[in-house]
Structure 1
Amino acid sequence: MDSLQLTSNSKTPRVIMAEDNTSISDLALLAERDPQQFQLRVEGTRSLEFAGDDSVHHVAFRGSKFPALERLVLDASDQNDEDSLKPYLQPALKEFSFFGGPISDAFLKTLQESSPGLEELLIDNPRNLISPDGFIRFLSGANALKRLSIMYGMDRAITDDVFVALSTLPNLQSLRFTYTVTPELVSFAKSQQLKKCGEAQLFPCLNELVCTVHLEGLCGLLPHLRQLSDLDATILSKDVHSSSLDTFLRDISTYASNLSALKLQYSETVHASIDPANLVHLAQALTHLQHMEISGDHIRVTGLGTDHFAKITQALPNLKVLRLAFQCSLSEAALVELSQTCGGVMTNCELWGSYALHNLEGTGVSLPALQELVLGKLVPPTPDGTNDQAVRAARVVKEMAPNLESFDVISEDPFSTLVQTAWKGLA
């Protein structure tokens, strides 16, 4: 699964409400000019999205209620204060995405009491007004919560005790978490659960995890995540070395066999190696994978060749997204293997290595569903890499992937630039 990354700078698009094709500004104007018609309109409104400067219209809705509101998205604004948001906190509310504003523990208490059926919450940059105790109290009563995204600007609110509270939420299915998961944190959560319940089961229903981790911390957590279907982990530098990487991949193979999406991003500052046999074993153990992404500028997979790559793709015939963004010696033969195994369903592909595209002329390599292709380096037929050769290479790409929307090359050498320019001309 393509993992979603949201930050405090995220901007929601200005979306028209599906129910009545009325924008936030038009709804505010209606409240001013025809209060009776406005109230009739909001009684059926199920979704509101405040983008850009829409927050200036909160004042128009004070004293009103949105009884049918199920989904609320608030772009970052200092005008997202607690009193202004009360009209939207109704019993029907199930999804709430908050991208910034001055809200505190009192707001969370109101949210919990007013919207007990809340299933999805994204919270970002509450201006450091939420305390750990307040957040824990909210979580303790959030019995319907299934999906939680804790974004940036929540540093004050997130502590080890909050992590313990998160790990014991009975219905939590998805967690996006910027607080670093360390081995000490996992050990603390397990010990607290053992004291409280006599067993150390964490995240009993979790199937999606997006997190920043120390490698050993995630290794300690994996035995509790056997139901996980989506894992997106950014691994910090200090724990990345060759032996721990291989151990980690073996642990994923053992404990996370239900994964459909795996995204691992390693530190850019620490050099380490992965045994290609462990990548093969990983693919063969995770037969449900549709998205596989392993990246790191300073990660090397020495010896990863066509035979290894063939075994990886053969084990994953339903793979739609593949990104192997690390130092390796893959070549154009990998594209041949890709075409023969999962080429019919592959939509996004990034493969580092070196590719002599002229060797694919007349081979019939076909990736008809491919929309995005990124290759490490292009090798010209001759050292000078003429413009005519670049056009031929671009035609190979066009014929191989006729529906390609984006083509990029990591190496910024003159020949690669010529090929990309020629491809754009053909497209």
Structure 2
Amino acid sequence: MGSPSSASLALALPEILVAIFDCLDSPALTAAMRASKKWFTCASDVLWRRAGCEALAAVPEQRRQIYASKITLLAFSGDEDAAYHARFQHLRFSSLKHISLDAYRPSDGSYHIRQYFQPPLESFSFYGGDLDHDLLQQLRAKSWRLRRILIDSPGAAVQPDFFATFLAEYTSLEHMVFLHGMDHLITDDLMLHLADRPSLSSLMIGKTCSAELLQRISTQVLQPFRALRNLQLTVPSSAVPTLVRLATQLNRLELTVQDADATVVGRLASLTTLRELSLSFSAATELPKHEILSLKKLTQLEELTVGPDEAEDKAEVTAFQSSFSDTDFDELVSQLRSLRRIRFMIQSNLSVLSLASLAKHCPLLEMCTMPQVFDMSPLSGDDRAKFSFPNLHYLDLGGLERPPSENPSSQELASAMKTAFPKLGEFYVSSDDDYSNDVADAFTASDAS
């Protein structure tokens, strides 16, 4: 009898089987499970890694532990999912790496989530509930490898001093997200600690950070934010110069500016390592042309968002006084050749030629949002080649200008857009006029046919 082939030997190794099964969809995995006991074990490991809480709850109670130990990710959404916590409280999730808990405050005060605190846990997301000191202490004690933590609205039981100590002693944490209902816990002393934390690479804070606090960080921390690459923050305009000096190596910045008292865009343009920039203004802001054009220094940008803070109804960002034009827009995007996503929500006198500039200079563009109402008739004329977007799959415009004599018709323009944007799957308009809606409807209908 001949010796087994190398392929047969390879297929007998669990790590090889798991790597192969990782590439299969659920029906193929289900079929593979029937081949042999070993294949069943490996395939079920892969199948159950990201199984939902409903699937686990559907397993008979006496067999539930078998599959709980295979799960690496659990996400609970809404009160119905949260009801599973009590049913799972005696299970051991020994492979769990990521847990996401939606907002939940049970009437009886019992919150059974300690079973998810396991040594492999890397990510803990908590979107609202009643945390207490004991829960957080157990999380730190049992999940010592945790790298990412997100906490929203934890209730009143957690005290600022305890929370600061909890984070200071949780040395494995590298990514922190505290956006909503956390202002009482984000003290100045905590921010000083975070600025001095040597391994902090990502920080997202909802509480406004004052210019005075950033100045304290500048003077009291020797190497502030030395590992920080991703930052989300709200600041007054007066704080931006200090912020730029403190966080010099950012790859991603999501910044909300509270007022229009000082110009900020030119300052941010010195952060030349940025790959993603989202800049929102909470107050009505008129941007000078030279400020907008300063963004062309950010040649590594893959994503650019500039516009009003959507949480503020009266916020509007404009560039009318400086007559920001199609030529200026072309000058800007000619230096941003790596752009994949742009939300240029600055109200100005741009025309459809701005789309031609994006088509010319940004061939990788996948998503585009602009507030202007464009005359898109050139897409069906002799210049249509100037508007080719081979990778665009999302387009959101203020609206479409009705052409004279309905030429092109809504159907013809939708067809021309299909040709110019072959991968476009989502097209939206903000205005509620008949022509814009007719084109959007015709585009959607052609997708369905």
Residue of structure 2 in register with 1:326 after alignment: 346
Structure ranking higher on relative contact order (CA contacts 8 Å, 6+ apart): 1
Residue of structure 1 in register with 2:56 after alignment: 27
- Tell me which of 156, 166, 183 is aligned to 2:184: 156
Residue 317 of structure 1: CA displacement?
1.2
Cα gap change, 1:137/1:81 in structure 2, threshold over 3 Å: closer, same or farther? farther
Residue 19 of structure 1: CA displacement?
4.6
Residue of structure 2 in register with 1:212 after alignment: 234
Residue of structure 1 in register with 2:245 after alignment: 223
Cα gap change, 1:408/1:170 in structure 2, threshold over 3 Å: closer, same or farther? same
Residue 90 of structure 1: CA displacement?
1.9
Residue 232 of structure 1: CA displacement?
1.0
Cα gap change, 1:38/1:314 in structure 2, threshold over 3 Å: closer, same or farther? same
The correspondence of residues 223-302 of structure 1 with structure 2, limited to 5 A, is 223-236=245-258, 239-241=259-261, 244-245=262-263, 248-254=264-270, 256-267=271-282, 269-270=283-284, 272-283=285-296, 285-296=297-308, 298-302=316-320
Residue 81 of structure 1: CA displacement?
6.6
Q: What's the CA shift string for 1:241-283, capped at 9, x where partnerless?
A: 4xx22xx2221122x111000111112x42x322223322222
Residue of structure 2 in register with 1:355 after alignment: 374
Percentage identity across paired residues of the two chains: 27
Contact 2:137 2:166 in 1 (8 A): yes
Residue 412 of structure 1: CA displacement?
3.1
Distance 2:228 2:438 in 1: 47
The correspondence of residues 47-58 of structure 1 with structure 2, limited to 5 A, is 47-52=73-78, 53-58=80-85
Q: Is 1:115 matched with 2:134? A: no
Residue 20 of structure 1: CA displacement?
2.1
Count of residue pairs the alignment pairs up: 390
Residue 29 of structure 1: CA displacement?
5.7
Q: What's the CA shift string for 1:154-205, capped at 9, x where partnerless?
A: 2322222222222222211111111111212212333443xxxxx3x32221
Contact 1:69 1:93 in 2 (8 A): yes
Contact 2:240 2:267 in 1 (8 A): no
Distance 1:413 1:50 in 2: 41
Q: Is 1:186 matched with 2:214? A: yes
Residue 367 of structure 1: CA displacement?
0.8
Letter in 2 for 1:117: R
Question: SS of the residue aligned with 2:180?
Answer: coil
Cα gap change, 1:380/1:225 in structure 2, threshold over 3 Å: closer, same or farther? same
Residue 206 of structure 1: CA displacement?
0.9
The two structures have a TM-score, normalised by structure 2, of 0.80
Letter in 1 for 2:307: S
Residue 131 of structure 1: CA displacement?
1.4
**212-221 or 115-124: bigger deviation:** 212-221
Cα gap change, 1:98/1:407 in structure 2, threshold over 3 Å: closer, same or farther? same
The two structures have a TM-score, normalised by structure 1, of 0.83
Distance 1:189 1:128 in 2: 28
Letter in 1 for 2:105: D
Letter in 2 for 1:224: L
The correspondence of residues 86-165 of structure 1 with structure 2, limited to 5 A, is 86-165=114-193
Cα gap change, 1:29/1:412 in structure 2, threshold over 3 Å: closer, same or farther? closer
Distance 2:410 2:69 in 1: 61
Cα gap change, 1:96/1:389 in structure 2, threshold over 3 Å: closer, same or farther? same
Distance 1:155 1:81 in 2: 23
Residue of structure 2 in register with 1:368 after alignment: 390
Q: What's the CA shift string for 1:296-349, capped at 9, x where partnerless?
A: 35222232222222222221111111111121111111122222111x311111
Contact 1:380 1:389 in 2 (8 A): no
Residue of structure 1 in register with 2:104 after alignment: 77
Cα gap change, 1:189/1:234 in structure 2, threshold over 3 Å: closer, same or farther? same
Distance 1:160 1:218 in 2: 18
**51-60 or 130-139: bigger deviation:** 51-60
**417-426 or 370-379: bigger deviation:** 417-426
Cα gap change, 1:25/1:328 in structure 2, threshold over 3 Å: closer, same or farther? closer
Residue 30 of structure 1: CA displacement?
4.6
- Tell me which of 202, 205, 219 is aligned to 1:177: 205
Root-mean-square deviation (CA), in Å? 2.6
Letter in 2 for 1:293: T
Residue of structure 1 in register with 2:15 after alignment: none
Distance 2:434 2:443 in 1: 14
Distance 1:69 1:391 in 2: 51
Max radius of gyration: which structure? 2
Distance 2:109 2:138 in 1: 13
Distance 2:109 2:99 in 1: 15
Cα gap change, 1:357/1:136 in structure 2, threshold over 3 Å: closer, same or farther? same
Residue of structure 1 in register with 2:437 after alignment: 417
Cα gap change, 1:352/1:28 in structure 2, threshold over 3 Å: closer, same or farther? closer
Distance 1:264 1:101 in 2: 31
Q: What's the CA shift string for 1:80-115, capped at 9, x where partnerless?
A: 978622222122211111122211122222211221
Question: SS of the residue aligned with 1:326?
Answer: coil
Contact 1:143 1:170 in 2 (8 A): no
Contact 2:377 2:408 in 1 (8 A): no
Cα gap change, 1:414/1:400 in structure 2, threshold over 3 Å: closer, same or farther? same
Structure 1 unpaired stretches of 5+: 1-15, 194-198
Distance 1:83 1:412 in 2: 47
**58-67 or 207-216: bigger deviation:** 58-67
Residue of structure 2 in register with 1:311 after alignment: 331
